[in-house]
Amino acid sequence: MSRQIHVAVIGAGPAGLAASANALAHGALVTCIDANDQPGGQYWRHRYEQPGQQPDSTGHHDWSTYLSLRKAFDAGQNAGTLTYLPNTQVWMAQQEEDETLTLQLTSATDAGHDAGISTLETDRLVVATGAYDRQIPIPGWDLPGVMTAGAVQALIKGQGVLAGQRVLLAGTGPFLLPVASNVAHAGGKVLGICESADLTGWLSHLKEPLAVPTKGVEGAEYIWDLLRHRIPYKRSTVVTRIHGNDKVEAVSIARTDRTGAIIAGSEERIENVDCVGLGFGFTTQLELLTAFG
């Protein structure tokens, strides 16, 4: 009788949960390593789960998919075929001569404290580490109150906390829309979304989102939120400077032409800002894959 294949999955977001569920379905033993304290990743980040209660679905899409994947994930834990290691990160991975892989683990939240398992050997490895917000330096971006758009959303989803009462979002990409929606639903005031692109470049790629009708519905919901909460959406607009002494107080913005140059006379200063969320798309976390070549 052949032994069970051991699969290690790094990350417990949508991809990590799906990989774990599929590996379990094919009879593998699974170890899921996650830097967070509970499954869901950034996409399904939610309030801390209470025993005996359903996870909080507030502000989420595709929640039924999450519950389905969690059901398989939890069943694996109960059956002893899945080991979940939360608050744990992989700092090194290497392939041995017999083609097994050795992972070196440490605590993700407690510096200097080892994870419960410091070394893990596995037959197969799935890297599902997701991505993080791409940033561009802006004068004043180091002031308290300036953070990534993802961090603004994470505070709302994970702790139910607003990063500020008067929030300006800036950068580029559709991710700014759900963040604005989250802020508005949590009771904050979104002073505006400054989209640096003019959006005409998206027209040639409309067939991709149209092929996924659920995303079209989701986008319509965000547009309705912008209208309902009277959130200004400024295309071809960038933040030129963030003002403040010991925290964010105001933001200067300006319109740009097709080359990205500031249009003279278009400058505007927005006062009484206590939070700026910046997001210029995402950068995938490829460190482990790069280490493997």
The pLDDT confidence band at residue 109, using thresholds 50, 70 and 90, is: confident
Question: How does DSSP classify residue 192?
Answer: E
Burial of 24 (0-12, 13-18, 19+ CB in 10 A): buried
Question: pLDDT at position 1, please?
Answer: 46
Q: What is the mean pLDDT of the chain?
A: 89
CA–CA dist 253, 241 (Å, integer): 7
pTM listed for this prediction: 0.84
Range with the poorest average pLDDT among 29-38, 106-115, 116-125, 244-253: 106-115
pLDDT per residue as tens digits for the range 167-222: 999 999 999 999 999 999 999 999 999 999 987 766 566 667 667 667 667 777 88
